[in-house]
Structures are given as structure tokens and as C-alpha cells.
Chain A
Amino acid sequence: MATLDMRLACKPADYKSDVKPIWCPGCGDYHVLMSFTRAFAELGLPPEQIVVVSGIGCSSRIPAYTSCYGFHGVHGRSLALAAGLKVTRPDLTVVVASGDGDGYSIGGNHFLHACRRNIDMTYVVMDNRIYGMTKGQPSPTTESEFDTALAPGGTGLRPFHPLVVALASGANFVARCFSGEPNETASILVEAIRHPGFSFVEILSPCVTFRPDEKEWKSLVHPAPVGPTNDPAKAARRIMTDDGFNIGILYRGDRKPFQPAFGTPTADVAALEKDFEL
């Protein structure tokens, strides 16, 4: 069978490009890239049918490291760009990659509306709770007391809680992963990509250069004690009260994805002119 042959032909390595990543040695994002290629291979998708869209930041470099189509756009706008792409090309698999600065700070408004819009795509945020590319400034998820040159003594601000925001805004699938577990992450990505609508996957991905303390995450993460729920209230309570290191699928909703009819004309262009005839 053709589909089976296709699947056998797809190895994770087929989804990697020959571009050498700019990431620091030991960066969690290497493992995320590994999870991406494993997930794509597991799904058996031809690379030309996948588009990886990103903004700006360390994590947003990921598209060029895959052999898929990619768009490395401006800071914070990847979700909007992906929305335009997916609505007009529903045949493609669209994965958006972002970081905590790109996704939650400069791109925060688009995050809300992407969840609300519920277009069938997967949004992966590699959260390292720091701006790495600009060398160590606090991001929306940085702990309030974390000391940086730009915010000496800490920001004094309560960290942003992306999973609850996603849930409240209408995301149809919410999961948390840890980059250090690429197989588990890959299987969650497979489910996220398969799940209709807007799937949000937060990946804790340590920045070994500016947040060496995050190497501790390896010992802190643990599987979510219960399976995913389709009850947003229940999911919200769990997410609000867990320790932030609960790994797994936390919410799986059944909202209908937004997809306008596209490519099915009911009139020709000349027919539009009737609006203006005297």
C-alpha cells in the first residue's frame, strides 16, 4: 500500500536539513528539534506538506533546521502568518514554533486570538524563562525575583501562566512537555498535530547559558498524575494548582476548528459587477 510505503520511507533524519544550528551546546532546543523530526516521521508526512512557521529568538531558528517548508518571520507574529497560510492551504500541516519572549510578550495578543480562532495548527512554545538571544533579559515567564542586568533584583512581576491563558482563550488541546524527554515530547506532538483545531504545546526547554539553574528541571518534571480531560474547568483547576512540572496532555477539547470555505467559487468575477450597475 502506498501509504505504508511512504511511512516506511520516513525516518527522523529525512526531516533534518544540513543547516547547523546556532544554539549553544547543551541547549534544550536540540532535543525539541529531535522531537519534531521524530513526530513528523511517526506521522509519515512528506516534508513538502509540512510548514514550520516561527518568529524571532533562539527557538524560532528551528524551521531552517528541518527539511520542511519554513517561514522565519518577524518577532511575535508567527501565529498570524500561520493563520493566513492554513486558512488558504488547509491541505498543509502547519506547526508554529516560538519561545516565551516571542510568544508571550511581543506576540501575546496573537496568542489569545489564535486560541480563540481555533484554526487547525499546532503551536509549540519552547519556554526557557529568559531572553537568550539578547543575552539574558527577563521574559514573561521569568520568576519575579530572578536577577538580571535589565531588571536588577528581579522584575517583581508575577510570571505569566500560558497554559491557563490558552485554555481560557479557547485552545482545543493543551499539553506540557520537557525537552529532555524527546520520545515523550514526540508522541505528544503527534497527538497535538492529529488533534483538530488549535493545539498548544508548551515545552520546558532549559537555557544552559543564561539559566544554568534550569538543569534542575530534569529532576523536577514528572508525568501528570491523571490523563487529559475535555472539561475546561477541571483542566483549569489542575493547571492552576499543579507544580508547573506536570508533563503530559492536560486538556483535549472538541471545539470545531475554524476553516472558511476556500477555493470553491460560487460566482465568477464578472458577476460581482452587478453591485455597481446603474
Chain B
Amino acid sequence: MRDCQDISVALVGSGGAGALTAGNFLQEAACAAGWHGLLTRTVGAQIRGGEAAALLRLATHPVECLPDRYDLLIGIDWLNAQRFGAEIEVGPQSLVIGDPRGGEPPPVVAAAGARTVLIPFKEMAKAIPDGRQNMIALGVAAKLLGLDAELVSALIEKRLAGKGAAAIRASRAGIEAGYRAANGIDFDLRLAQPAATSGRRWLISGNEAAALGAIRGGIRFAAAYPITPATEVLEWLAPSLDKVGGTLLQAEDELAAINMIIGASFGGTPSFTATSGPGLSLMIEALGLATAAEIPIVVMDVMRAGPSTGIPTKSEQADLNIAVYGCHGDAPHIVVAPQSVVDCLFTTQWATYLAEALQTPAIVLSDQFMGQARSAIERPADIAFIGQRMRATDVVYPYKRYALAANGISPMAIPGTRGGQYTADGLTHNERGTPTSGAADHQAQLDKRLRKLEQFNYGSHWATIEGDGELAVVTFGSLTGTAREAVARAREDGIEATLIAPRLLAPVQPQAFARAIEGKKRLIVVEQTHGAQFYRYLRAHYDLPAATHVLNRPGPLPIRPGEIHQAISEWRH
């Protein structure tokens, strides 16, 4: 038996087999026992009859990325598993458990040379009244990981409380059967005891964290149209907004959603929507309106593979271009990218603060990986970023809504304020807001809107910068955690590298970036896109060293820490 710092488990099954439910319970039980864990999911497009996998990485320390390969792969059945076999890498050291009647493991699994053990999940489930095979698989996994059976049982009782005694009894019987079946299976990894943690711990997804961040930042109105993989943001927000005196409207489409939040924000309420690539495409026209009319809004894009409908259930980072450059005309706005599940909270809250302070739209670029991943975290401390819009309260009609303030930020009157009446307009307008086609007003207002974004002090939050090597790994979004792990592994090899991950993608920060890469001889740009969008964006705005490599790949095959580690190690002077 070897003690290790992290173990990765994949639970696979056809849609409806309950792999995701078993994964959820396994994570919750392990985290209740004090370990850290990141649970991601990969599913097909079908609601039933597709394929689903819960990918769980448990560790003694916080984890932010997927592993290079899985130590334990359990196939409740192997139906359709070939569709994502490539996403679940196993090696010769891995243990693969399957049901002899559950079909054949995907060829990539068989080719990896992993040891295979057979357990008749289906047959065992039949022997239990209302028994379910996923609960047996859960028992097997829990036993192999060394989880206390009582702990798992207590959790089931808590979580299934609403389903009645029979359901609890059936699940517990299944788990016990799994524990028995795992007896004698040779699995020599054992998670080391976790370091004691102080304070409250949460189990939260990136999408939920973003929604909480929005509320903490002052958002009280949301309007949205359902879309994978952003829907969980909305489904948590809807009842939560009600509780704090806000509301969420389900719009007829994304065009309506963004216009609804523009209307609410015009009325003085900080407002939010969440969508994915296809929805963002529809919202772009109104995003330009909010920029021109200087209405603060927060738009979260939980990116999925594109273009067009793409792969709705799988991650990619290829909406960078549309987020930064999508609007017609010169339309400066904010684009920020959270860097982990927990950072979804901070970054969405910060985006709300920035949108309100700068009276402009802020796009939050999350992605499916991070949005639908669930992580055990320490409760994030309250932060001071609460949206505060500069309001015009004591005004005399006719009032100059778009006065050319030195810092570009002009006080905003909200309806109801006597003397503050003005018409917000997407047409080029003068200081009063009256439409004009004159060159001078056009120039002056474009200058004003750019100035307010450029003069603002974004502080140290603009980027994560860690380490001090001549080689820097430059990435953004959910790959930050992957790159961090790669840099840490390189450090263990005696190679010092720097991690640079801008959280603020627009407006660009040329001076701060120049300081960040000062003295760097080699850059490795890492991104989950086919077209190297992030590399091209960096090239467009910053002076990069000649020795710059790109490690890019479209979704849904995740970039593994090992690949970045290898790229660092292999690039000698």
C-alpha cells in the first residue's frame, strides 16, 4: 500500500445509469472526510441513453485541474463509452473495473494495458429490491479509496431523505454490496491523510460560485434564456435572487435577455445574464448598445466548443475573439476570465464592480470545464468589491448625461430623479444624449468611453503572476490551474518557470504586461482553441519575445498538466 497525495477516479456509464450521481456522492463523502476534490463531468448531448462520466480527482491539497491519467476507472457499463474514451486516459498502472455483461471497454482503454477486474454490477443490483448498479459502483470506489463505510452511509441518508426509507435502504444495500465486492481487489494506492483545515468548507460548482459572486457584487436582476452549459448559473440564481429581493426573468430568447437587463440597469438595478457562445453571438448587438449608452451590465459566457452549435456539453476557450472583438464599431468594454472554480466567485463579483464603476458592459468568460466542475473549497472571504455606480442625484434639467468628465465617468441619473430626464441612445449623441451625426461629438464620446476604461486602476487583480523563471507559461481561464500544476512539477525538477495568467483580457494592460514579461526569454502560450486565438491576441497587443511557442488544442480533449510540464522541460536554451 502506497500513500499518495492525489488519486483520480472516473465513473462511466450510459446516460441514466447514474454515474454522475455516484460521482457526486463519492466526492461529497471524500470531502466530508477532509480531502480536497475536483469533480468534472463529461456527457453526451442526449438526456437519456447517451454517455456520462464523473471525473473525480481527490487530493490532500486543493486541486484545480484534471489529472494526466486516471488511477481507477469504473465502467458501470461500457455502452457508448467509446465516444469519450479518449478523454479518460488510463495507463498500465491504472485499475479498470467493469461488468462482464456491460459490453467491452473502449479500445483506447484496452490498449493502455491497464489491469482489469470484473464485477457483475447489474446482477448484483438485481439481487437487491430497487437496487441500482451505480450505488454498487459507489461502494466499490469508496472502499478502494479507503473511505469509511459509515460516512458514506450517513451521507446517503442525508441526501436521499426526501426519497423515502425504501430508497435509502436500497442505496445502502447497494453500497454495502460494493464494499464487499471490493474486498480483495488489489489496489495499492491510498490517499495520505489531509492536512487539517480551519474554517468552513464549501462544495460548489463554478457556475454556482459565479452566481453567488454576482449577488455578492450587488446584482439583483437577471434575465436569461436556458443554454448548456450555463443553465446552472440561472437555476441557482432564480430562487436566490428572490430571497434577496431581486428577480430573474426567463426571456423568450437571448436578444430579449440582454435587452431586459439593459432596461433594468437603466432603471438603477445592477443586472446580469449568463449564456454560452450561441447566446453571446445573439447578444452582441445589444452589447454595443450598452457600451454606447453607457449602461452597466454583466454578461457571463460559459464557453463550450464552437463554432455554431458546436459541442454543447464540452469545454473550449474559443469565444475569446468574439468577447474581445465581437462588437461592430469601436466599443471598448470589460472582458474578464475567472481562473478556477473558486475564482468564478471573485471574478464575477469584480466584473459587477467594474461594470457599475465604469458604466459599461463586462463579459465574464468562464467555460464548461470550470462552470460544471464542483470543488471543495474554503469559504471565500467577503471582498470589498460591491457595485457602486456614480449617480446624478441633484440635477437641473436639461442635464448632460454624457458630460465629458476628465476621467470619462459621468454621473448617471436614473428614472424618477427630477431634472435628470434624458434619452439613452445607441445613436451617436452629444453630452446631453441628443442624437447627432457630427464628427466632433462622435470623436468626443468615443474618446470619453475609451478614457474611462484606460484611466481606471485595476490593481493587482488584472493577472495572476507566480514564480520567477526565464521561461513563462502564459495562459488564461480554467487552464490557469493546469499551468500552475505544470510549473510546480517543473520546479520539483529544478526548472523555475513563471506563470502569467491575465484575468483582465480587455481593456489590455500593455504596461503591466510588459513588466510581467520583463527578462523573460521564452514564452509558452497555452490555450484550448483551434485557432490560437489567445496567442494572436497577445501578439496584437503586447511585445512578445521571439522565442514564443504555442500549445493549443480545441476541446473537448483537455490539455493535461503533464503536457505543459513536458513543454517546459523539453525547451532548453
Q: A residues touching B (Cβ–Cβ < 8 Å)? A: 17-19, 46-49, 51-53, 61, 63-64, 67-74, 76-78, 80-89, 91-92, 109-110, 112-113, 260-269, 271-273, 275-278
Contacts and interface: CB of A to CB of B under 8 A. Distances in A.
Given A63-B423, A72-B426, A110-B252, A92 B260 contact: no
Interface residues of B, number: 66
Contacts of B255: 76-77, 80, 110
A77 B288 CA distance: 14
A261 B247 contact: yes
Nearest to A268: B244
A269 B216 CA distance: 7
Nearest to B376: A278
A83 B425 contact: no
Given A84-B249, A268-B244, A48 B376 contact: no
B164 interface: no
B223, B255, B260, B397 — most chain A CB neighbours (10 Å)? B260
Grouping DSSP codes into helix (H, G, I), strand (E, B) and loop, the A interface class, with mixed when no group exceeds half, is mixed
B200 interface: yes
Contact of B28 (A69, A262, A272, A278): A278
B426 A77 contact: no
Given A49-B416, A72-B425, A85-B266, A278 B259 contact: no
The 4 closest A-B pairs by CB, nearest first: A70-B423, A84-B260, A84-B263, A265-B245
B245 A109 contact: no
Nearest to B289: A74
A73 B289 contact: yes
A138 to B, nearest CB: 23
Nearest to B268: A89
Interface string B215-246: 11000110100000000000010001011111
Contacts of B427: 72
B424 A80 contact: no
Grouping DSSP codes into helix (H, G, I), strand (E, B) and loop, the B interface class, with mixed when no group exceeds half, is mixed
B56 to A, nearest CB: 15
Contacts of B251: 80, 113
B249 A87 contact: yes
A63 B247 CA distance: 27
B425 A64 contact: yes
Contacts, number: 189
A277 B244 contact: no
B187 interface: no
B31 interface: yes
A84 B262 contact: yes
Given A49-B416, A64-B433, A70-B423, A83 B244 contact: no
Contact of B247 (A72, A91, A260, A269): A260
B256 A80 contact: yes
A91 B416 contact: yes
Interface stretch (B202-210, B503-511, B520-528): B202-210
B464 interface: no
7 contacts: A19-B434, A71-B425, A73-B426, A80-B260, A272-B243, A273-B212, A275-B240
Contacts of B236: 275
Contacts of B259: 73-74, 77-78, 80-81, 84
B29 to A, nearest CB: 10
Given A269-B244, A276-B202, A67 B421 contact: yes
Contacts of B286: 73-74, 77
A18 B422 CA distance: 12
Nearest to A18: B398
Interface string B371-409: 000001001000000000000000001100000000000
Contact of B267 (A85, A113, A267, A277): A85
A84 B251 CA distance: 10
